[in-house]
Structure 1
Amino acid sequence: MIQLFQVYDREDVTCVEMTTLRKSKVFTFLVDGMLIDTGPQRFESELIPFYQKASFDLVTLTHSHEDHSGNAPWIQENLKVPIYVHSNGIAVCSQPTPYPKYRQDTWGTRREFKALPVSSSIQSREKEWEVIYTPGHADDHISLFHRGTGTLFTGDLFISPKTKVIMRSESIPQTMASIRNLLTYDFGSMFCCHAGYLPDGKMKMKEKLEYLEGICEEVKTLYEKGHSITEIDQLIFGKKYPITAISEGEWDSLHIVTSIVLDI
C-alpha cells in the first residue's frame, strides 16, 4: 500500500513523510536527538534504514495510536532507547494490535512494547521541551513546545482546519479546550503528524478553533429547536464520507454532533 516515502528538513527538524495508496499521510519528526512518534508499522521496511542511520537518544510519542507508535517495538528491541508516552497510554502500548482490522490494513500491525510515563517536561540533547496535555483526539495525547524557538509539535490535534469526521472516542469540546490552551503559548512553526510543517502554525490553529466554535453554535441552536442528533448531522454535514463505511462507523460526522450535545 506504500505510495510515497521522503525525508527532508524544515528549520531544525527532520521530517519523515509517508503516504499510503489510500492517500493517508503521516509524519514522524527528529529534532535535537529526540524522535517524535515512530510512524506506522506499514512503513517499517522504509523506516528501519532511516532509524539505523539517524542519531537519537529517546522517543516521545504524542499518543499511542498505531500510526504513531507502530515501529516502537522495533526501536525498543534493536536500538534500546527509552520510549515515553502520557501515562494514560502505557496500558495501550502493552497490548498487541488493540485496534480494528481496517486500521491494521491501513497502518500495519503494531506489536506490544513497554513505554515509560512522560513527565511535565522532557530533555533532548540541548533543549528542554514542555509537555502539554492536549486531550480530545485521544486521552493520552500530548503536545511538545520549546519556548526558546517557539517550535510546537501537535500530534493529531490539528490535522486540518475543517474537521468533517472524528472517531467515536473523540471529543470536540475537549479538542477545543486543548486548542485554547495551546493558543496561550507563544509558538510560531507547528509540526502536525498528518499535515506536516506549518510555518504559520498559530494562525492555522486559530482558524481551526473558529471553525469548531461555529459548528458548536450550529449544533446547539438546532438541538435547542428540538432536532435529533441524526437530523443535526444531516443538516450540517449533509453527506457521509467513505471512511464511515470502511470503519464500520468508528469514523463519522455523527460523532462530532454527539460529543457537542453531550457537553450542552
Structure 2
Amino acid sequence: MTTEDVIAIRVPTPFAVGDVIVYLVKGDALTLIDAGPNTKEAARALQEQLAAVNVKLSDIEQVVLTHHHADHAGLLDVFSDEIEVIGHAFNEPYISQNQAFMDWQKRFFQKLLPELGVPFDTGKAEKLIRSAYAFSCTRSLTKSIREGMGIDGLEGWSVLEMPGHAESHIVLFHEKSGRMLGGDLLLANSSSNPILEAPKAGDVRSKP
C-alpha cells in the first residue's frame, strides 16, 4: 500500500463545518470511502476530481461508509444500483430513510427534548427529522461489516467500530502501513460532535 493508492478528494457541503474529505482507494476493487452530500455542487466536485485521476463514477466498484450522516452518504444516489454499498448495519435505517424508523425518531425526540428543557412540538419534530435527511440518499446496504472484519477488494484494511459521533461509525485501519481512514473521528477545526440518536430498540439511547 503506497501513498498513491489512497487519493483524498475534497467535496463541498452545505453545512457550517465546511468540506468533507472522501477517499478513492485503488485496491483490488476500486473503492470510494464515503461519498459526500447529495448536492449538485458536491457531485460536480467529486466527478471533476475523479476525472483528474482518470476515474469515472461508473468505474467505482464499491462505496464503504464510515457512517450514515448526509455529508458522507448522500451522493450514494448518483451511483448505479449495481454498486456495492458497504457499512455498519446501523447505517441502514438512515440511508434507506425507513419510514417506520423515521416515525420512531420523531416520537423519541418529542419525548426526550422536553425532558432536557427544550420546548418542542410535533411540527418542530417533523422539521428536525426532515432537515437531517435534506441532503441524504435513499439507498440500502448491500453488505454489512463489523469490528475485525476485512472488506473484499481492500486487502490489508480492517474494520474498527468507533461509535460516538454516530452509532454507525467505523474506521478502516491498515496495520502494515499504520494508516487509518477515520471519517469524522477527527476533525481539523472542531470537536467531532457527538450526536443524539434514537435507540434502535427500546427506550434507552446509547450515550455518545
TM-score by length of 1: 0.51
Answer yes or no: is the 8 Å Cα contact 1:62–1:154 preserved in 2.
yes
Cα drift, residue 154 of structure 1:
0.8
- Report what 2:119 is aligned to: none
The CA distance in 2 between the partners of 1:23 and 1:132, in whole Å, is 25
Of 16, 27, 41, 2:38 maps to 41
- Partner residue, 1:53: 56
Query: How many residues are aligned here?
Result: 158
| Other-structure match for 1:29 | 23
Paired with 2:182 and 2:6, the residues of 1 have a C-alpha distance of 14
How far is the alpha carbon of 1:76 from its aligned partner? 3.5
- TM-fit CA distance, 1:101: 4.8
CA distance in 1, matches of 2:193, 2:91: 23
Aligned to 1:148: 176
Instruction: Please report how far the alpha carbon of residue 28 of structure 1 lies from its aligned counterpart in structure 2 after TM superposition.
Output: 0.9
Q: Which of 128, 133, 144 is 1:117 aligned to?
A: 144
Distance 2:80 2:140 in 1: 8
Q: Percent identity?
A: 26
5, 29, 49: which is aligned to 1:12?
5
Q: Which amino acid aligns with 1:19?
A: P
The residue type equivalent to 1:139 in the other structure is E
**Alignment CA distance shift 1:159-1:82 (3 Å):** same
Match of 1:94 among 93, 96, 104: 96
Q: CA deviation at 1:129?
A: 1.2
How far apart are the structure 1 equivalents of 2:193 and 2:170? 21
- Residue 73 of structure 1 and its aligned partner are, at CA, apart by 2.2
CA distance in 2, matches of 1:145, 1:44: 27
Aligned to 1:73: 77
Do 2:70 and 2:137's aligned partners in 1 also have CA atoms closer than 8 Å?
Answer: no
Aligned partners of 1:76 and 1:82 also within 8 Å: no
| Contact map agreement 2:11 2:46 (CA 8 A) in 1 | no
Q: Which residue of 1 aligns with 2:120?
A: none
Q: CA deviation at 1:163?
A: 2.5
Q: For CA contacts below 8 A with separation 6 or more, give which structure has more relative contact order.
A: 2
Decide whether aligned partners of structure 1 residues 26 and 68 sit closer, same or farther in structure 2, where only a CA change above 3 A counts. Answer: same
CA deviation map 1:200-223 (0-9, x unaligned): xxxxxxxxxxxxxxxxxxxxxxxx
**Shift in Å, 1:111:** 2.9
Kindly tell me: are residues 86 and 100 of structure 1, through their superposed partners in 2, closer, same or farther at Cα, counting changes over 3 Å?
Answer: same
Does the CA contact (< 8 Å) of 2:35 and 2:75 recur in 1? Answer: yes
Aligned to 1:155, the other structure's residue is in SS state coil
Task: Work out the CA distance in 2 between the residues paired with 1:13 and 1:64.
Answer: 22
Cα distance in 1 for partners of 2:144, 2:21 equals 22
CA RMSD of aligned residues (A): 3.2
Alignment of 1:1-264 (within 5 A): 11-20=4-13, 22=16, 24-32=18-26, 33-42=30-39, 43-48=42-47, 50=50, 53=56, 55-77=59-81, 80-95=82-97, 100-103=129-132, 108-115=134-141, 116-119=143-146, 120-124=149-153, 127-160=155-188, 163=191, 166-169=194-197
Residue aligned with 1:24, SS: coil
- Structure 2 residue runs of 5 or longer lacking an equivalent are 103-127, 199-206
Q: Normalising by the residue count of structure 2, what TM-score does the alignment of the two structures yield? A: 0.63
> In the alignment, residue 111 of structure 1 is paired with which amino acid?
C
Larger radius of gyration: 1
Aligned to 1:237: none
Look up the equivalent residue of 2:76 and give its one-letter code: A
Offset of residue 15 of structure 1:
1.2
**What SS does structure 2 have at the residue aligned with 1:28?**
strand
